[in-house]
Structure 1
């Protein structure tokens, strides 16, 4: 196995996913990145990596990404599961189809990716899932996301129970309001730090959890929200 580590990053063309790709490339990882945008190929060239154009809620696209990674690099050491935003709406007006779409996007993406990559992490590895603060403090503004990401926290505990002994770790990063999306002044005033976070700040935490510096950390949820969540 090469000493250079290989990282898969999904939804990597903008926002937090792009910042994670930039950070891991800077740290010497070989990258395999996924996005629905055709821009992903230019980004891969910039990072000296490979790209697959596709969606995180499509298992065939995820499979193509994993296959391309193994064909190119022969190993997978890190996976950063970033994704888009599930549908929003009034709680009881959301349709069955919207709930299914949201769970495909924000829960099944991780479960499917885990099935694909875990057999190839024989030397250990780290899976980092970009979740949301709603996993700890559900918000009516983001109902499907809150429910799906709470389920993701549960899946992460079960994954850890099965695979920690094989040195395959899984942790969740729970961002608050990040400035890749605008927030109202009212929302910002509810954040104790009185500002939104940045994608680069999220990428710093993801980098730590991907690295061996966090080798004894698994099965955990890490809020990065400027103090927004009040629950203990």
Structure 2
């Protein structure tokens, strides 16, 4: 299906690896001009090459920290100056520290809120005037299945990411009809982070091989596997396209049916 994104401009944050990079690749392959972002300069440069390899439009990499408001302003300004506007904003951020409730202090909580919630608040505040132009645009927020079901030892993600969904739902009403706002809730996908976790389990002796560890993670999913990052990326591209023009204010699990929640 042609998503008719040729010439559109998409800004994808935290996209030097993982699901953010997959989303940038999916949008770039559909013809959008894509701006990617990350903190690590070397990894960002590698991601730029990966995205450019599939791109039908332009690709720009802008280094920056999503907890720094000046960096967010710069990111939006560079996008507009390079491509003339913004049609699609995809918000993404790294995960907060893991650990049980009693082992986390106030600094951990404030840091998680700044990273997961305030980054979205600031990005939308800066990008919204541009998204309203030329007939309107879209916002897709990548969060986690933890907003549906609490995950053990991830209390920061379980609690704080709920705020992002409340924000997304509010934006879907306040910014409509010019801007549609949706969220995706991924279960584990075979990103570099998941590969590291599986390999660490192998090194601890929990599995005899990476393949065994990967199978073990996949066996708890009804589809018998974890996700391919591009499956999430393709969903983001769809939600950014006119083919999803009547989808607004939803939070869609991309989890292969792993979740147990009815809603």
Structure 1 length-normalised TM: 0.92
Root-mean-square deviation (CA), in Å? 1.8
Q: Would you say 1:218 and 2:248 are equivalent positions?
A: yes
Q: Does the residue aligned with 2:41 lie in a helix, a strand or coil?
A: coil
**What is the distance in 1 between the residues matched to 2:32 and 2:6?**
10
Per the alignment, residue 220 of structure 2 pairs with: 190
Residue 42 of structure 1 and its aligned partner are, at CA, apart by 5.3
Match of 1:169 in 2: 180
Written as runs of structure 1 = structure 2, the 5 A alignment for 1:21-36 is 21-36=24-39
Give the CA deviation at 1:148.
1.6
Q: CA deviation at 1:155?
A: 0.8
Please list every run of 5 or more consecutive structure 2 residues that lacks an aligned counterpart in the other structure: 199-212
1:157 aligns with one of 160, 169, 176? 169
- Deviation, structure 1 residue 186: 5.4
2:78 maps to which of 53, 65, 68: 68
Query: Would you say the 8 A contact 1:91–1:140 is kept in 2?
Result: no
Structure of larger gyration radius = 2
- Cα distance, 1:192 vs structure 2: 1.8
The structural deviation recorded for 1:84 is 0.5
Pairing 1:59-208 to 2, within 5 Å after superposition: 59-122=69-132, 123-165=135-177, 167-180=178-191, 181-182=194-195, 187-208=217-238
State the partner residue of 1:53.
63
The 3-state SS of whatever aligns with 1:171 is strand
1:88 to partner: Cα distance: 0.8
Distance in 1 separating the partners of 2:11 and 2:220: 34
TM-score by length of 2: 0.82
Q: Partners in 2 of 1:30 and 1:88 — Cα distance?
A: 35
* 1:118 CA displacement: 0.5
State the Cα deviation string for residues 2-40 of structure 1 (Å, max 9, x = none).
971000011111111111111111111011111112132
Kindly tell me: are residues 206 and 106 of structure 1, through their superposed partners in 2, closer, same or farther at Cα, counting changes over 3 Å?
same
User: How far is 1:157 from its partner?
Assistant: 1.2
| Aligned pair partner of 2:22 in 5, 19, 23 | 19
Q: 2 CA distance for matches of 1:103 and 1:37?
A: 21
